[in-house]
Amino acid sequence: MQYTHLGRSGLSVSRLCLGTMNFGPQTQEDVAHSIMDSAQEAGINFFDTANVYGGKEHRGWTEEILGRWFAKGGERREKTVLATKLYGAMTDRPNDNKLSALNIRRALDASLKRLQTDHIDLYQFHHVDRDTPWDEIWQAIEVAVQQGKILYSGSSNFAGWHIAQAQAAAARRHYTGLVSEQSIYNLLTRAVELEVIPAAQEYGLGILPWSPLHGGLLGGVLRKEAAGVRRAEGRAAETLKTHRDQIQQYEDLADELGHQPADVGLAWLLAQPAVTAPIIGPRTQEQLDAALRTLDVDLDAATLTRLDEIFPGHRTAPEDYAW
């Protein structure tokens, strides 16, 4: 396993982050426990979850599954850099969502209870709160740090401006601020290159790409379609229709390289500036094993250039729109 620092922090994390969103709704608890054991055995020490994961009828379910896994002992918790999130509504009560000081306190304590741990390593804001001032947010986070309940703070789905706002407010308070940002980022979705990644580089945040294979469209969807294994539906089918030629070129390139398309997509992310660890979300042991192959894929400069030609990005950002 390869490791790197999370942004500008001194925290060492694996180059792949285990996303747990499927645990509960799509992956049974015993299978989820087995996947987490295998991930740790492979050297993955970075696990990501959120308080709302588990579905509308059982929010918190995924954290509970992790908590029972930690309770098995064997230093499972000690071997894990644990990240969770808050923001989404857990009930229909008016203060059980977003980033007020009250919700930060309540949501954090509830996550700690579900996760059966005394602290969260990386506590992340699942979305920007447009109604709560940053001084209120940071004061609540500073209290939690002083209480030993969290160590680091991160964001998710923030714009570059939001990161700048958060870091400016933290600097006024002589506080560390954010050390990471979770954004949708993959070969098909590169908007974060415009301003989010430049902001992350300026302020020392590690990028944690979610949906690194764009819901499976970069995982060999045309091969699977031809083999009758999988057919895209809904929004994925519309995206495939729009980008079919690009995806075909991408899969052909993977064939030339002798790699699976998913391996190429993840390896491309690992080669991007500011990226700490793509978040992989395996539903099965086989999907975890496949993701681990990525670490053996080394894309040369010519291949990276070819991928940019197939899926153009924003290489002059943040001045991409200017002359």
Element (H, E) at 252: helix 234-257
- What token pair was written down for 163? 């990161």
Is residue 323 over pLDDT 80? no
Is residue 5 over pLDDT 90? yes
- What token pair was written down for 94? 């008016």
Q: What is the pLDDT of residue 315?
A: 80
pLDDT tier for residue 106 given thresholds of 50, 70 and 90: very high
If you average pLDDT over residues 276-297, what whole number do you get?
96
Q: What is the pLDDT of residue 304?
A: 97
Catalytic residue among 53, 123, 152, 250: 53
Look up 53 and say whether it is catalytic.
yes
The rounded percent of the chain whose pLDDT value lies above 70 is 98
pLDDT tier for residue 92 given thresholds of 50, 70 and 90: very high
Range list of β-strands (E), 236-312: 279-280
If you average pLDDT over residues 66-92, what whole number do you get?
97
For 112, residues 6+ apart whose C-beta sits below 8 A from its C-beta are 118, 119, 120, 149
Sheet of strand 46-48, all strands in order from the earlier edge strand to the far edge: 206-210, 178-184, 150-156, 120-125, 81-86, 46-48, 17-19, 279-280
Encode pLDDT of 10-63 as tens digits: 999 999 999 999 999 999 999 999 999 999 999 999 999 999 999 988 999 999
Q: What is the pLDDT of residue 236?
A: 76
Is residue 233 over pLDDT 70? no
Q: What is the pLDDT of residue 47?
A: 98
Cβ distance 62 to 49 under 8 Å?
yes
Return d(Cα 101, Cα 97) in angstroms, integer. Answer: 11
Domains of the chain, each with CATH number or no CATH: 3-216+261-307 (3.20.20.100)
If you average pLDDT over residues 281-285, what whole number do you get?
96
- 3-class SS of residue 121: strand
Read off the amino acid at residue 229: V
- What token pair was written down for 181? 């940002």
Encode pLDDT of 188-218 as tens digits: 999 999 999 999 999 999 999 999 999 999 9
pLDDT tier for residue 97 given thresholds of 50, 70 and 90: very high
Return d(Cα 221, Cα 244) in angstroms, integer. Answer: 10
Q: Are strands 120-125 and 150-156 parallel, antiparallel or unpaired?
A: parallel
pTM, rounded to two decimals: 0.96
Mean pLDDT of the chain: 95
